[in-house]
Chain A
Amino acid sequence: MPVAVRVIPCLDVDAGRVVKGVNFVGLRDAGDPVELARRYDAEGADELTFLDITASSAGRETTYDIVRRTAEQVFIPLTVGGGVRSVGDVDALLRAGADKVGVNTAAIARPSLLAEIAERFGRQVLVLSVDARRVPAGERPTPSGFEVTTHGGRQGTGIDALDWAARAADLGAGEILLNSMDADGTRDGFDLELIRLVRAVVSVPVIASGGAGKAEDFAPAVAAGADAVLAASVFHFATVSIGEVKAELASHGVTVR
Chain B
Amino acid sequence: MEIVVLDYGSGNVRSAVRALEKVGSALDSHEVSIRLTADRAAAVAADGLVVPGVGAFAACMAGLGRVDAAGILAERLADARPVLGICVGMQVLFADGIEHGVHTDGLGLLPGRVQPLRAPVVPHMGWNTVTPPAGSVLFEGIEPGTRFYFVHSYAVPAPDPASPYLATLTEHGDRFVAAAEHGVLSATQFHPEKSGAAGQALLRNWIRSVAAR
Residues of A in contact with B (beta carbons under 8 Å apart): 1-6, 41, 46, 68, 71-72, 75-77, 94-95, 97-99, 120-125, 174-175, 203-205, 227-228, 257
Main secondary structure of the interface of B (DSSP, over half): mixed
Docked Cα-Cα span, A175 to B125, in Å, equals 9
Are A121 and B11 in touch, CB under 8 angstroms? yes
The answer to whether B121 touches A205 (Cβ under 8 A) is: yes
Say if the beta carbon of B135 comes within 8 Å of chain A: no
Assess A123 versus B123: contact at CB under 8 Å? Given A71-B18, A75-B200: yes
On whether A174 and B123 interact (CB within 8 A), knowing A3-B172, A75-B194, the answer reads yes
The closest CB in chain B to the CB of A91 belongs to: B11
Nearest residue in A to B193 (C-beta to C-beta)? Answer: A75
> A4-B126, A124-B153, A203-B120 in contact; A97/B14 too (CB < 8 A)?
yes
Select from chain B the residue with minimum beta-carbon distance to A225: B121
A122-B125 in contact (CB<8A): no
- A124: chain B residues at CB < 8 Å are 54, 123, 125, 151-153
Residue from the list A68, A75, A121, A123 in contact with B195, Cβ < 8 A = A75
Task: Please tell me which one of the listed residues A97, A121, A257 contacts residue B147 in the complex, with CB atoms under 8 A apart.
Answer: A257
New A-B contacts (7) at CB < 8 Å, excluding given A1-B128, A75-B193, A95-B14 = A2-B171, A3-B126, A46-B127, A71-B15, A97-B12, A125-B11, A203-B122
- B180-206, CB under 8 A of A: which get 1 and which 0? 000000000001011110011000000
Given A6-B127, A97-B12, decide whether A122 and B54 contact each other with a Cβ distance below 8 A.
yes
- Provide the bound-state CA to CA distance between A170 and B120, in Å: 15
Interface residues of B (CB under 8 A from A): 11-12, 14-15, 18-19, 22, 54-56, 120-129, 145, 147, 149-153, 171-172, 191, 193-196, 199-200
Chain B residues with CB under 8 Å of A257's CB are: 127, 147
Q: How far is the CA of A120 from the CA of B62 in the complex (A)?
A: 13
Q: Are B19 and A1 in contact (CB under 8 A)?
A: no
CB–CB A1/B123 < 8 A: no
Min C-beta distance of B159 to chain A, whole Å: 22
B122 contacts across to A, CB distance below 8 A:
203-204
Which chain A residues lie closer than 8 Å to B125 at the CB level?
3, 124, 174-175, 205, 227
Task: Using known A-B contacts A123-B153, A124-B152, determine if residue A6 contacts B15 with beta carbons closer than 8 Å.
Answer: no
| A227 pairs with B153, CB closer than 8 A | no
A74 nearest CB across to chain B (Å): 9
Does B55 lie within 8 Å of A97, measured CB to CB?
Answer: no
Q: Is the CB of B128 within 8 A of A4?
A: yes
Q: How far is the CB of B161 from chain A (nearest CB, A)?
A: 23
Distance, CA A2 to CA B120, complexed state (A): 12
* B149 near A175: Cβ-Cβ < 8 Å: no
Report how far A1 CA is from B172 CA in the complex, Å. Answer: 9
Cβ-defined contact, A204 with B123, below 8 A: yes
B55–A75 CB distance below 8 A: no
The CA-CA distance from A35 to B195 in the complex, in Å, is 19
Most B CB atoms within 10 A — which of A41, A72, A205, A257? A257
Question: Are A1 and B153 neighbours in the complex by a CB distance under 8 Å?
Answer: no
A95-B12 CB under 8 A given contacts A75-B193, A122-B55: yes
A75→B56 CA distance, assembly (Å):
23
Bound Cα distance A136, B38 (Å): 56
Residue of A nearest to B129 (CB): A1
* A contact residues around B200 at 8 Å (CB): 75
3 A-B pairs closest in CB distance: A122-B55, A257-B127, A3-B128
Q: A1-B129, A122-B56 are in contact. Are A99 and B194 (CB under 8 A)?
A: yes
* 5 intermolecular pairs with C-beta atoms under 8 Å apart: A4-B128, A41-B196, A75-B15, A75-B195, A228-B126
